[in-house]
Amino acid sequence: MAVDWFPLWLSLRVAAVSTALALGLGLALAWLLARRTFRGREALDAAVTLPLVLPPTVLGYYLLVAFGREAWLGRFYESVFGAPLVFTWQAAVVAALFHSAPLLIKSARAALESVDHSYERAARSLGASEWRVFWRISLPLAQRPVLAATALAFARSLGDFGVTIMIAGNIPGRTQTVAVAIYDAVESGNGALARILVVVTSAVALTILWLANRMSPRQTPA
Amino acid sequence: MIQARIRKHYPPGRESAAFTLDVDFQAGDSVTVLFGPSGAGKTLTLDAIAGFVRPEQGRILLDDEILFDGAAAVDRSPQQRRCGYVFQNYALFPHMSLRRNLEFAAARSPRLERHRRVNETLERFRLEEVAGRRPHEVSGGQKQRCSIARALMGGPKLLLLDEPARGLDAPLRAELYAVLRQVRADFHIPILLVTHDLEECFELGEHMLILRDGRLVQSGTPRQILEGPATVEVARLLGLYNLLSAQIVSLDPGRNRSSLRVEGFELTGPYFPGRLRGDRVWLYVLPGQLAAVAREGKPGPSQVPARLVAITERPHGVRLEFDGGIAVEMPRDEWEKKKHNKEWLVEFPPHALRVI
């Protein structure tokens, strides 16, 4: 049987792009939540956590409305990239991002909060800018848990189904990610294809979890 | 010269009572020790000066630069304050070698200059051999020297140390004091040091500030404070004295005499200027200034019969605890001669008696 590997490659590519975006966005938000005090901090934290608890279809619906051709976010996207977002592989990236970023932000916040304040204070009193304090002190000291969280976020991005099908659809060869392809295969009675994709996806996820576990528990000795 | 007037209020929390820090002091180019029990606001004072916590009111002036002024809304960032800070846990960056720790502090210098200064500092603080190691790979003394060296790298105008001797054994303490004396001689900047170790105050402090419950209760040289604690709280904090509640029974300025009634006995003291007959006072006297003698016949005018309840060995002698909470210290050889005494008299030399 000729297996179409496109869904798996697409999923890996989507996961890679969304994890990179989640890491950038996540670190910035995590730093804000962990180290700044401002009004609405807990509200921001709740907003960031919301995608974790909402049903994927609800989240997908919101995104569909927000990125629709009539909505300002959708129009903005179209004016920058020249084409609408929905039902493209980029939409799958957005879906994966909303699926995985909350997890990364939560873990990164906890990791940054666990860094002893005195290191950051010492760096500041030595004249280091906030930017330098973050990159040279806070982040390196929180490196392991942040890397572990990134690996988890990658694994989670691979697995999104609900949001993806709402805004990226199920277009074989274009937006059909592995999770969607498995559903499609089962629906159409192609049990053999479903089994192969299930086994391969599980193996990939297991490998990533193993890597994440190797990274997380050990603490840098003080 | 540092001048600080700091006020900060903390409302009561779920696990903490309300606390108000309200201090006002200045310190010159010498070592000033902040002494007090834990929770007195010593570290908080350092943190406010370094810019880690923001006071509600006050003014902090370092040399002629305003670091903080509540009324004028001036609040310089910690980066701009040029305060070297030695943390209680040293806060050496664990992911960097000692050399990198120092380089981090000299980041503003050009590369060659930085290299030269780091090498000089490593040498001055005897750290060349371990420069490539990380903090967890070096000894406690090396960590401590490195944290002081790092705090001095940026050419600070003030050095703040938060209990630098905490958890160090005696040889390391002695080494720390030597390093700090050297720093004082070389850098000519004010040094503020937090401690709750009285011995450290005497070792290092030209000036001593006593904090209690967020307030400054007394300041002066350690010797001045030892000889004249301002309040009974200060005397208790120092923990050195026999403190007895007493009442003045008579005062005779002509013969420089007074007599005091302490619970159960009467003592003769010197004339106390500014006191009146009938005043209730606290009598304080150092255990080393008292004498304990064998009871033979009737007690003299400054002698009080007492029962010996405990004997403690001290590095320099023996400490005898009598009933009524009176402690007497005497040299070992004197104790050897007297140790078979059954009945005791404690002798209060009139000139040694002081009152608050």
Using CA atoms, how far residue B334 sits from B215, B286, B331, in Å, is 42, 18, 6
Query: Hey, is A2 helix, strand or coil?
Result: coil
User: A126, A138, A143: which to substitute to probe chain B, counting the most B Cβ within 10 Å?
Assistant: A126
The whole model's pTM is what? 0.83
| Per-residue pLDDT tens over the stretch B73-87 | 899 999 999 999 999
ipTM of the complex: 0.84
Domain over A6-215 is classified CATH 1.10.3720.10:
yes
**Domain-by-domain residue ranges, chain B?**
2-232, 241-355
Strand ranges (E), chain A? none
Q: Do A126 and B87 touch (CB under 8 A)?
A: no
How close, in Å, is residue A66 to chain B by CA atoms?
A: 41
Cα separation, B246 vs B116, in Å, equals 65
Residues of B in contact with A126 (CB under 8 A): 104-105, 150-151, 153-154
Q: Do A125 and B81 touch (CB under 8 A)?
A: yes
Would the pLDDT of B127 be above 90? Answer: yes
The superfamily CATH assigns to domain B2-232 is P-loop containing nucleotide triphosphate hydrolases (3.40.50.300)
Torsion of CA A92, A94, A97, A99, to 10 degrees: -70
Residues of A in contact with B83 (CB under 8 A): 125
Query: H helices then E strands: how many in chain B?
Result: 10, 22
Please tell me the predicted confidence (pLDDT) of residue A222. Answer: 42
Cα separation, B119 vs B116, in Å, equals 5
How close, in Å, is residue B180 to chain A by CA atoms?
A: 19
Using CA atoms, how far residue B226 sits from B35, B194, B199, B210, in Å, is 13, 18, 12, 12
Count CB-CB contacts under 10 A for residue A188: 10
Residues of A in contact with B163 (CB under 8 A): none
Cα separation, A118 vs B150, in Å, equals 14
Can you list the residues of chain A whose pLDDT is less than 50?
Answer: 219-222
Cα separation, B216 vs B342, in Å, equals 46
Q: What token pair was written down for A30? A: 């995590």
| Per-residue pLDDT tens over the stretch A8-51 | 999 999 999 999 999 999 999 999 998 888 888 889 999 998 98
Count CB-CB contacts under 10 A for residue B149: 24
Residues of B in contact with A140 (CB under 8 A): 95
Q: Do B107 and A128 touch (CB under 8 A)?
A: yes
Q: Any residues with CB less than 8 A from the CB of B107 and at least 6 apart, and which?
A: A127, A128, A132, B114
Please tell me the predicted confidence (pLDDT) of residue B268. Answer: 86
* Side chain identity at residue B103, one-letter code: E
Q: What token pair was written down for B76? A: 């310089």
The secondary structure element, H or E, covering residue B7 is strand B2-10
CA nearest to B162 within chain A: A118
Closest CB from A116, A118, A140 relative to B95: A140
Closest CB from B78, B89, B108 relative to A125: B78
Residues of A in contact with B95 (CB under 8 A): 140-141, 220
Q: What token pair was written down for B265? A: 């006995």
Q: Any residues with CB less than 8 A from the CB of B103 and at least 6 apart, and which?
A: B114, B118
Question: Tokens 């420089």 belong to which residue?
Answer: B256
φ/ψ of residue B157, rounded to 5: -95, 0
User: B104, B158, B161: which to substitute to probe chain A, counting the most A Cβ within 10 Å?
Assistant: B104
Interface of B with A (CB under 8 A): 50-52, 77-79, 81-85, 87-89, 91, 93-95, 104-105, 107-108, 135-136, 150-151, 153-154
Would the pLDDT of B157 be above 70? Answer: yes
* 3-state secondary structure string across B139-184: CHHHHHHHHHHHHHHCCCCEEEEECCCCCCCHHHHHHHHHHHHHHH
Binned at pLDDT 50, 70 and 90, residue B310 comes out as: confident
* Side chain identity at residue A207, one-letter code: T
Residues of A in contact with B151 (CB under 8 A): 125-126
C-alpha count within 13 angstroms, C-beta hemisphere, residue B165: 24
Q: Do B94 and A118 touch (CB under 8 A)?
A: no
Please tell me the predicted confidence (pLDDT) of residue B233. Answer: 87
User: B43, B52, B114: which to substitute to probe chain A, counting the most A Cβ within 10 Å?
Assistant: B52
Residues of B in contact with A129 (CB under 8 A): 79
Q: What token pair was written down for A135? A: 């990159």
CA nearest to B108 within chain A: A127
Would the pLDDT of B94 be above 80? Answer: yes
Q: What token pair was written down for B65? A: 């630069």
With 0-12 CB in 10 A as exposed, 13-18 as middle and 19+ as buried, what is B71?
exposed
The secondary structure element, H or E, covering residue B46 is helix B42-50
Instruction: Using DSSP bridges, classify how beta strands B31-35 and B191-195 pair: parallel, antiparallel or unpaired.
Output: parallel
Distance of CA A78 to the CA centre of its chain: 23
Interface of A with B (CB under 8 A): 116, 118-119, 121-129, 132, 136-137, 140-141, 220-222
Cα separation, A102 vs B347, in Å, equals 76
- B48, B55 in Cβ contact below 8 A? yes
Would the pLDDT of B193 be above 90? Answer: yes
Q: Any residues with CB less than 8 A from the CB of A112 and at least 6 apart, and which?
A: A30, A31, A34, A35, A138, A139, A142
Please tell me the predicted confidence (pLDDT) of residue A221. Answer: 46
**Domain-by-domain residue ranges, chain A?**
6-215
Q: What is the mean pLDDT of residues B146-150?
A: 95
Across all residues in chain B, what is the average pLDDT? 89
Cα separation, A20 vs B257, in Å, equals 86
Closest CB from B89, B136, B150 relative to A118: B89
